[in-house]
């Protein structure tokens, strides 16, 4: 069933592009440490906070803060009042300009939970528990969801949930951006549905068996006509253009933490495409001197620290 009490918010203008973000929501419990614990070791956390997370949820926050109209569609545990993780995630998201009415709460299941460690260099290690039954959930009305969007951004954590939405979007002639966050086969059917696929480095190398990211992109290109790109942390973004691999330097920043950085990239890319940018420009999309420039977690972390 839809998330209880979910209301579309209207903080962003009615003329802003509508971005449907479909995929996974996670409750992130984050520990800030000086250094990661070694095998069979213990460390003391310098700070702790809990925040909404997951590829789709983070991307929706980024879209909303960049001025787009974000809708979030995702399966969660339920019902309300029973699945505490889901309650906490939706409560956190209620403070953002995001339509969460398409979040489906499934009785008897548990919302995904992650324990995340961030060290002094901004690097992170993540351990996630996902109820395997959530992966079998399908969307209630994918056609209606696609009908309310200008572009769809999906992650591949729950392919049975996102694929019907992506297919409905393609039937309407919409572009579909896929966040390839989970390692999969080079001929994954979602690659054939998506118009744009952006990988993380580790999730591109694993299925192709190629450490060279340019070679790995070309291997995937044999299976899809989608625009392909790969992010690589502080390294250059690589993307395919006219059959060749191109490089794009990333903006140089001092990393506070890297949690959600890739999700924000996908959100900004999808919104920029919907606003009319070409792919190379969309990969560099940013807005200056706005609250939307913040990391998707940053404001929520401050709020969590006061509770």
Instruction: Locate the domains of the chain by residue range.
Output: 18-24+55-109+138-291
What are the DSSP calls for 162-179, one per residue? HHHHHHHHHHTT-EEEEE
Looking only at the bridges linking them, the beta strands covering 244-248 and 235-241 are antiparallel
30-44, 92-106, 200-214, 232-246: least confidently modelled range:
200-214
Assign 287 a pLDDT band (cuts: 50, 70, 90). Answer: low
Residue 114 near residue 27, CB atoms below 8 Å = yes
Over residues 236-254, the mean pLDDT reads: 91
Give pLDDT, residue 94: 85
Cα 172 to Cα 149: distance, rounded to the nearest angstrom: 10
Give pLDDT, residue 5: 36
Over residues 204-214, the mean pLDDT reads: 88
Residue 43 near residue 76, CB atoms below 8 Å = no
Alpha-helix residue ranges (DSSP H) falling in the chain: 55-65, 84-93, 142-147, 159-171, 189-193, 201-208, 213-221, 261-274, 279-283, 298-305
CA 205 to chain centre: 19
> 18-24+55-109+138-291 belongs to which homologous superfamily?
Ribokinase (3.40.1190.20)
10-24, 175-189, 200-214, 265-279: least confidently modelled range:
10-24
Which residues have CB under 8 Å from 40's CB, separation 6+? none
- For residue 20, the SS3 value is strand
Q: Does the pLDDT value for residue 299 go beyond 50? A: no
Q: Does the pLDDT value for residue 297 go beyond 60? A: no
Q: Does the pLDDT value for residue 117 go beyond 80? A: yes
Give pLDDT, residue 13: 64
Residue 296 near residue 56, CB atoms below 8 Å = no
Residue 197 near residue 227, CB atoms below 8 Å = yes
User: How many CB atoms sit inside 10 A of residue 100's CB?
Assistant: 26
Assign 51 a pLDDT band (cuts: 50, 70, 90). Answer: confident
- Pick the closest to residue 231 from 188, 256, 268 (CA basis): 268
Which pair of structure tokens corresponds to residue 165?
């939405």
How high is the mean pLDDT of the chain? 87
Q: Does the pLDDT value for residue 173 go beyond 90? A: yes
- Pick the closest to residue 59 from 152, 188, 192, 182 (CA basis): 152
Cα 229 to Cα 213: distance, rounded to the nearest angstrom: 10
Cα 247 to Cα 286: distance, rounded to the nearest angstrom: 18
- Give tens-digit pLDDT for 6-47: 333 445 667 899 999 999 999 999 999 999 988 999 999 999
- Pick the closest to residue 227 from 277, 263, 178 (CA basis): 178
- Pick the closest to residue 3 from 78, 114, 96, 60 (CA basis): 78
* Burial class, 254, CB count within 10 angstroms (exposed 0-12 / middle 13-18 / buried 19+): exposed
Assign 301 a pLDDT band (cuts: 50, 70, 90). Answer: very low
């Amino acid at each position: 069933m839809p998330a209880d009490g979910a209301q579309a918010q209207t903080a962003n203008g009615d003329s802003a592009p509508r971005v449907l973000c479909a995929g996974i929501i996670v409750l992130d419990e984050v520990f800030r440490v000086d250094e990661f614990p070694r095998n069979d070791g213990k460390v003391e956390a310098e700070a702790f906070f809990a925040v909404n997370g997951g590829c789709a949820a983070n991307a929706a926050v980024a879209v909303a803060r960049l001025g787009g109209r974000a809708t979030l569609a995702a399966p969660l545990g339920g019902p309300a009042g029973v699945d505490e993780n889901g309650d906490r995630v939706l409560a956190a998201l209620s403070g953002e300009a995001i339509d969460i009415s398409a979040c489906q709460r499934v009785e008897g299941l548990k919302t995904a939970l992650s324990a995340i460690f961030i060290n002094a260099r901004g690097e992170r290690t993540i351990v996630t528990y996902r109820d395997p039954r959530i992966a079998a959930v399908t969307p209630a009305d994918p056609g209606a969801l696609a009908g309310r969007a200008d572009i769809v951004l999906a992650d591949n954590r729950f392919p049975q949930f996102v694929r019907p939405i992506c297919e409905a979007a393609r039937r309407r002639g919409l572009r579909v951006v896929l966040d390839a966050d989970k390692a999969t086969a080079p001929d994954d059917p979602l690659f054939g549905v998506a118009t744009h696929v952006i990988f993380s480095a580790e999730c591109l190398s694993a299925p192709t068996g190629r450490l060279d990211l340019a070679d790995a992109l070309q291997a995937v290109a044999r299976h899809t006509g989608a625009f392909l790109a790969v992010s690589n942390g502080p390294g250059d973004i690589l993307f395919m253009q006219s059959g060749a691999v191109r490089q794009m330097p990333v903006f140089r920043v001092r990393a506070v933490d890297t949690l959600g950085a890739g999700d924000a990239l996908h959100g900004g890319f999808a919104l920029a495409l919907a606003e009319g940018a070409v792919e190379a420009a969309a990969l560099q999309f940013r807005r200056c001197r706005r609250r939307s420039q913040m990391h998707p977690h940053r404001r929520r972390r401050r709020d969590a620290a006061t509770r």
